[in-house]
Chain A
Amino acid sequence: KAGVTQTPRYLIKTRGQQVTLSCSPISGHRSVSWYQQTPGQGLQFLFEYFSETQRNKGNFPGRFSGRQFSNSRSEMNVSTLELGDSALYLCASSLGQGVSGGYTFGSGTRLTVV
């Protein structure tokens, strides 16, 4: 059973540009959550999608957005990049319903803004 796949693994962008990251969940998982990981703030929740609908949102500015497709694949977009957006972006997939079931993470996309 394939795991969570995130592409690309590494990305270098310039301030002011925008970026799109992709996440393919485990087959059968309908929920995809996104997290930002930095040395200073740790792992912070960005948003979660279930059946193409945003179900939860963290405390990030509107420059951070996402979407989910009918096959459960998800993308997140960051517009007008700032130096502080440099981070490891992780997505996690889960069944999305019920109490039980862990959240499986991908290997992440390392974004560097210069």
Chain B
Amino acid sequence: GQQLNQSPQSMFIQEGEDVSMNCTSSSIFNTWLWYKQDPGEGPVLLIALYKAGELTSNGRLTAQFGITRKDSFLNISASIPSDVGIYFCAGRYGGTSYGKLTFGQGTILTVHP
């Protein structure tokens, strides 16, 4: 099935470092969402973006909706051990797409104390 191109696939960082990951698509999305998933659990919504160019923060997390509407990035500042997990971007087309989200392949984040 169609998926977004999410990079990097994995990251190994030291506690305190900043992290950046991004997603690109060949198609335009009207909504970009960023989720975090812990083992054995469902994805948890971190940030939702609804307008091109929008920059939104949630604590140490910052995400932006690209101007072209075909990309988005997520930054995590001053990482801590509990940031470990898999991060997914998801896009939603407009119109009648409603509950249909297209997901990236995920970025596995490992934080070394």
Contact = CB atoms under 8 A, between A and B. Distances in A.
Given A102-B48, A103-B33, A43 B88 contact: yes
Contacts of B100: 33, 45, 48, 56, 58
A44 B88 CA distance: 13
Interface residues of A, number: 32
Interface string A92-112: 101010011111111110100
Contacts, number: 78
A41 interface: yes
A42 B45 contact: no
Given A41-B1, A43-B88, A44-B1, A105 B43 contact: yes
Contact of A56 (B1, B3, B41, B99): B99
Nearest to B43: A105
Given A56-B97, A59-B1, A99-B30, A45 B102 contact: yes
Contacts of A32: 99
